[in-house]
């Protein structure tokens, strides 16, 4: 092919790739066409490299879409987590959870601790790991979950809604205990937890020790029934450290008056 023909072919291949939405292949095209023309690569290896890049880009887009669909409040991973700041968290246990073996065994995880210690961060990170492993993950705030189930119940579609939450391979219930749950809400949560029991994994973050859940649910019997099913096959992580949110404030306090520096005006 003459240089001129090649230029024409290049433009048309690019057009076709772009029409087909194969942007990663289109991006690699100039490099691989020159490499083949110069005899540095053969056609098969160029095609293999370009199609591999496109497939990888497609996988990444799929994961990104599923991460967005999971409902995480923010997207952070274990790589973003500073374990040295929170020595009460056994890193080996978290690393083991990150292998996602607990999902295969339908085991639960309960993260207990005061605000800001990283409970939601770790729950999200395990969720992101599960999405990457192509598991179906649903993240929900406990109060929103109870509200949603009550709403479904009042509209006569509770069974369908329970199925939706029961179905996810991993359900993350965040902030149990921040708001009290009334009797109806406790009963709905119990139904959900029962449906998932020994079947699918649930991660719960809470600021209330499991033994005190009766205070959250206003009913010792339902609280015990929920706790019983959640804790039967469960990794319990009690985080006793300082709030990460207060970290910078504490550092400033150590530096001076604890107030941010004021401007000149």
Closest CA to 36 of 66, 6, 67: 6
109 contacts 122 by C-beta, under 8 angstroms = no
| E strands present in 118-257 | 137-141, 170-176, 201-206, 234-239
* CA–CA separation, 105 and 207 (whole Å): 26
Among 62, 85, 88, 179, binds ligand ADP (CB under 6 A): 85
Binds 76, which of Mg ion, ligand ADP, none (CB < 5 to 8 A, cut-off by type)? Answer: ligand ADP
Among 120, 140, 153, 191, binds Mg ion (CB under 5 A): 120
Among 120, 140, 191, 206, binds ligand ADP (CB under 6 A): 120
Among 115, 184, 211, 240, binds ligand ADP (CB under 6 A): 115
* CA–CA separation, 245 and 119 (whole Å): 12
Confirm or reject binding of residue 121 to ligand ADP (CB under 6 A).
yes
Q: What is the Cα Rg of the chain in Å? A: 25
* CA–CA separation, 201 and 189 (whole Å): 15
Q: What are phi and psi of 42, to 5 degrees?
A: -95, 170
99 contacts 32 by C-beta, under 8 angstroms = no
Confirm or reject binding of residue 119 to ligand ADP (CB under 6 A).
yes
Contact range with ligand ADP by CB under 6 A, out of 5-13, 114-122, 164-172, 190-198: 114-122
Q: What is the DSSP string of 80-94?
A: G--GGG-TTS-HHHH
Residues 200-239 that bind ligand ADP (CB under 6 A): 205
Residues 99-118 that bind Mg ion (CB under 5 A): none
Among 82, 104, 182, 184, binds ligand ADP (CB under 6 A): 82
CB of 124 to ligand ADP, least distance (A): 8
CB of 145 to ligand ADP, least distance (A): 16
Contacting residues toward ligand ADP, per CB under 6 A: 76, 80-82, 85-86, 113, 115-121, 205, 244-245
- Give the footprint of Mg ion on this chain (CB under 5 A): 120
């Amino acid at each position: 092919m003459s240089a001129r023909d090649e230029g024409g072919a290049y433009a048309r291949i690019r057009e076709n790739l772009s029409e087909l939405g194969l942007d990663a292949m289109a991006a690699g095209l100039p490099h691989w066409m020159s490499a083949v023309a110069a005899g540095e690569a053969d056609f098969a290896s160029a095609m293999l490299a370009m199609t591999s890049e496109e497939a990888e880009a497609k996988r990444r887009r799929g994961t990104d879409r599923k991460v967005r669909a999971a409902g995480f409040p923010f997207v952070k991973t274990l790589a973003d987590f500073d374990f040295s700041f929170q020595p009460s968290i056994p890193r080996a246990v978290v690393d083991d959870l990150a292998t996602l073996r607990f999902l295969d065994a339908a085991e639960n995880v309960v993260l207990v601790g005061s605000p800001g210690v990283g409970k939601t961060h770790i729950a999200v990170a395990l969720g992101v790991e599960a999405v990457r492993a192509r598991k179906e993950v649903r993240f929900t705030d406990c109060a929103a979950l109870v509200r949603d189930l009550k709403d479904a119940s009042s509209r006569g579609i509770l069974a369908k809604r329970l199925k939706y939450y029961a179905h996810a391979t991993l359900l993350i219930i965040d902030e149990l205990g921040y708001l009290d749950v009334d009797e109806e809400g406790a009963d709905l949560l119990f139904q959900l937890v029962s449906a998932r029991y020994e079947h699918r994994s649930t991660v719960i973050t809470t600021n209330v020790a499991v033994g005190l859940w009766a205070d959250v649910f206003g009913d010792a019997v339902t609280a015990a029934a929920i706790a019983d099913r959640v804790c039967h096959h469960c990794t319990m992580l009690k985080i006793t450290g300082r709030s990460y949110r207060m970290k910078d404030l504490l550092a400033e306090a150590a530096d001076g008056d604890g107030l941010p520096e004021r401007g000149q005006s």
